[in-house]
Structure 1
Amino acid sequence: MATFDLEPVARQSTAELIADRLRIAIMRGALEPGEQLGEADLAAKFDVSRGPVREAMQRLVSEGLLHSIRHRGIFVIELTVDDIEDVYRSRAAIERGVLERILEGRCEATYAALGPSIEMMRAAADKGDAAAVSDADQQFHEVLVQSSESPRLVRAARTLLIETRMCLGALQTTYDDLHEQVTEHETLRDAIGAGQLELAYTLLSEHMSDAVTRLRHQREATSGTPGTAS
């Protein structure tokens, strides 16, 4: 009988699973900005001991999605307009690096990989489902970053993409016409597929700048005060 060198299968720990659930809850607004999280309450909801919950919360504190206030507790972060601009500025830098990696020889594979996200986005736009469009939008950028095959770029982008979704709040999107959101991503995908480096850079930069402008206007309209967060 042949023998093989087998490595242990990696499994997510309980703390990792809880951290994933909390990330999703923060991203989708189930845990609202500024909301306080309690170890005992979360442990009861997840039906686990407080140890894994504490570890999961500390992971999210280190990622910047939660913050700890001495003698008060741990809270979901709240994003100001300055934070929003910083999120998109950071994303633009990371995703430009992603494009550099992709355009070294991964154009065709990335073009194909982005197809399902575009189809999901278009189908959701046809139904007028803004939340589903945002889900597909996020998936598009996750796939884009993963296509770089750079673990560090993937890791750096993860929290920023969650913060991006948090920026949208309950509105889920800043586009009046959801199909415009689809078209922007289709155009970027086409530039990547054609290996048009400078065009892809320009489209990405315009996409990020436009998003900041839209979100700033949204926040100002919600708060009634220019330049402040709601």
Structure 2
Amino acid sequence: MTRPGIEPLIRESTPSIIARKLRRAVGDGVLAPGAQLSEASLARELGVSRGPLREAMQRLTQEGLLKSIRNRGIFVATFTEAGIRDMYVARAAIERAAAAVIMQTDPEGAGAALREVINAADVAPSEDAVREADFRFHVLLVELSGSAHLIRMHHTLITETQMCITALADTYPDVDVRLPEHRDIAAEISAGRGDEVDRLIVAHMDDGIHRLAPGQDGVPGPVPLRRAVDGCPVTRE
């Protein structure tokens, strides 16, 4: 039994540690989209037995980051046009929900914390710094809600976005326009204007899709093969 105010240490299981490492490797592009994974090779690289590795890979398969194909093996996920749009729909829903929670708790403090992320990138505005700030902004936005469920769901979606952008790092468009959009969102959060925050988040998510898959009358339509939505490679199944 612990005393009030002292939280017990949480021991992370071996499969959880392995899953975290694999998730990072997928997000960073070390394990590229479409790559087949060798259980034996990965176990050897990570210095772990195949039992916990298999459990970790099953977790990532359930998250959609890996794909198991019967009689062929396990592969890093790729993205279809519909899957990319669905990913952004899900991200928008989670981030809007997180922002709504923040508006009921500490919008001024949250806005200040989000501005710190943007300001850190302004100090040395390289492409890598801007991209890192881009991801960190969205991760922090959801973390500030304090919702374990939103954080868990968002974590997988952010990893998917990272792996997409990494895959097309040389062609990722307009990275420098992201920080001003983030700055506007942070400002509206600080001001407590929830409706405007919601509108800006929706516009922020829609921007990538409408920019690269405009369709007709502003409605996202079919995208040519190997085009990108916020940097995500597009394939057809």
Asked if TM exceeds 0.5, the reply is yes
Matched AA of 1:175: P
CA pair 28-166 structure 1, distance change in 2 beyond 3 A: same
Which of 169, 181, 186 is the equivalent residue of 1:171? Answer: 169
Deviation at 1:229, TM superposition (A): 2.2
Note the residue ranges of structure 1 that are not aligned, 5 or more in a row.
Answer: none
For residues 179 and 68 of structure 1, the distance between their equivalents in structure 2, rounded to whole angstroms, comes to: 37
Alignment of 1:1-230 (within 5 A): 4=3, 8-125=8-125, 129-168=126-165, 169-171=167-169, 174-176=172-174, 178-214=175-211, 216=213, 220=224, 222=226, 229-230=234-235
RMSD: 2.4
Q: Is the 8 A contact 2:33 2:77 kept in 1?
A: yes
Deviations 1:125-167 (A, max 9, x none): 2xxx323322211111111001111111111111111112223
1:196 and 1:163 map into 2 onto residues whose CA distance is 30
Alpha carbons of 1:72 and 1:223: their partners in 2 closer, same or farther (altered >3 Å)? same
May I ask how many residue pairs the two structures share in their alignment? 220
Asked if structure 1 preserves the Cα contact closer than 8 Å seen for 2:112 and 2:186, the reply is no
Structure 1 residue 27: deviation in Å? 0.9
Gaps of 5+ in 2: 215-222
* SS of 1:145 mapped into structure 2: helix
Task: Give the match's secondary structure for 1:103.
Answer: helix
With normalisation by structure 1, the TM-score equals: 0.86
Q: Which amino acid aligns with 1:84?
A: I
2:219 is aligned to none
Q: Which amino acid aligns with 1:170?
A: L
